[in-house]
Amino acid sequence: MSDTLMTIREMCDAFEVTPRTLRFYEARELIFPQRKGQHRLYDRRDRARLTLILRGKRFGFSLEQIRQLLELYEPGGANRTQIAATIEVSRDRLADMERQYAELSIAIDDLRRQISDAEGRLAAETNEQPTG
């Protein structure tokens, strides 16, 4: 059930991307759908990777950074040096995300305060008599 193969159209509908996008990600070696003849078929693994890709994009990572991160999620037959390198860059990304998390917390508080200030001004103006 969960390892159902999906066509490109099904993938597009499920993830709200275009075929162009999926082919583009494949060209950049972010996903590796099988082929049935000429047609692409996406399995559970491809869907998991696409989920991570879209998530990474929302955090502002480049496709290349995401590609490196995806290596971490593939316990394939990489050698020690490659695994260590992957861990390296992943730690960097993690640090980025932790920084972003902290800053986002501040920014959210900031924005909430600004919004309620503005709401206050709006309410005040409502009770005043405008001079014009």
Partner DNA sequence: GGGCAGGTTGACGTGAACGTAAGCAAGACG
Partner DNA sequence: CGTCTTGCTTACGTTCACGTCAACCTGCCC
List residues near DNA by CB under 7 A: 7-10, 18-21, 23-24, 28, 37-40, 57, 62-64
Position 41 contacts a copy of itself (CB under 8 A): no
Position 50 contacts a copy of itself (CB under 8 A): no
Binders of a copy of itself among residues 52 to 91 (CB under 8 A) are 55, 58-60, 69, 72-73, 75, 80, 83-84, 86-87, 90-91
Position 104 contacts a copy of itself (CB under 8 A): yes
Tell me if 42 sits within 8 A of 11, measured CB to CB.
yes
Q: How far is the CB of 12 from DNA (least distance, A)?
A: 8
CA distances from 35 to 15, 32, 67 (A): 20, 9, 21
Q: What is the 3-state secondary structure (H, E, C) of 13-56?
A: HHHCCCHHHHHHHHHCCCCCCEEECCEEEECHHHHHHHHHHHHH
Contacts of 127 by beta carbon, 8 Å cutoff, 6+ apart: none
Tell me if 33 sits within 8 A of 46, measured CB to CB.
yes
Which of 126, 127, 129, 131 is the binder for a copy of itself (CB under 8 A)?
A: 126
Q: Give me the residues that bind a copy of itself (CB under 8 A), please.
A: 55, 58-60, 69, 72-73, 75, 80, 83-84, 86-87, 90-91, 93-94, 97-98, 100-101, 103-105, 107-108, 111-112, 114-115, 117-119, 121-122, 125-126
